[in-house]
Amino acid sequence: MLKPSPLQAIAIVAFLFFYGFAVFALTRDYYLRHPPRVAAPPVSVTPHASAPVKPRPAAIALADDPGIPTAVVEGNPVLLAQQADELFSQGRYAEAIPVYQRVLVLAPTDLDAHNDLGLALHYRGQTQAALDVLARGTTIDPKFQRIWLTYGFVLTKTGDTATATSALTKARDLDPNNGVGQEASRLLGIIRETVPTQP
């Protein structure tokens, strides 16, 4: 093995020092310009007016960016859905409804949009329209647990406990251990307590 001369050793050490410094400087500059995003904590999916809508991570940083032209937002269902979710979380259901409807024009099988549009319509007193949207969503993907929960929740408000029980049972049975399944079980328990048993 060749042994470097003292001058070569100093040159190698100097090169490694400056190389390491350059990598450090470039990395530091990158992270100063592009700070890492902190993931939003998961939210409980509970069909109540006060519950926030599950955010859509792909759009969190984009929908409110004033640099994105309106025409781009209007044609992008992900950005529109994020806007609608923000309006919904603020209780601005009347404003969220047309945005969700636009999402469904662009992405007719978006089950989150069906679910959240149904809730927004219900909270605005348009319960039959809400049930129509939610029922359509259950046919698109019968294994989408959250929409069964919302459908059952809205049905309980109409007094149709038989259909509500069926929808909530479906939501619970799809996964009884997650938050949606547990909420379905809770609502089923309320129905059992409040509906008199037949003699």
What is the tens place of the pLDDT at every residue in 79-103? 888 888 999 999 999 999 999 999 9
Q: d(Cα 173, Cα 162) in Å, to the nearest integer?
A: 16
Residue 49, CA distances (Å) to 31, 88, 134, 173 in order: 39, 9, 16, 24
Predicted local confidence at residue 175, as pLDDT: 93
Please write the tens of the pLDDT for every residue from 60-71. 444 455 554 455
Contact 146, 115 (CB under 8 A): yes
Instruction: Say whether pLDDT at 39 is over 50.
Output: no
Predicted local confidence at residue 38, as pLDDT: 41
Instruction: Say whether pLDDT at 7 is over 70.
Output: yes
CATH class assigned to 57-194: mainly alpha
Domain residue extents for the chain:
1-36, 57-194
Burial class (CB in 10 A: 0-12, 13-18, 19+), 99: buried
User: Nearest Cα to 56, choosing from 120, 118, 110?
Assistant: 110
Locus of tokens 């890492």 = 36
Please write the tens of the pLDDT for every residue from 113-160. 999 999 999 999 999 999 999 999 999 999 999 999 999 999 999 989
CA angle 87, 88, 91 (to 5 degrees): 95
Instruction: Say whether pLDDT at 177 is over 90.
Output: yes
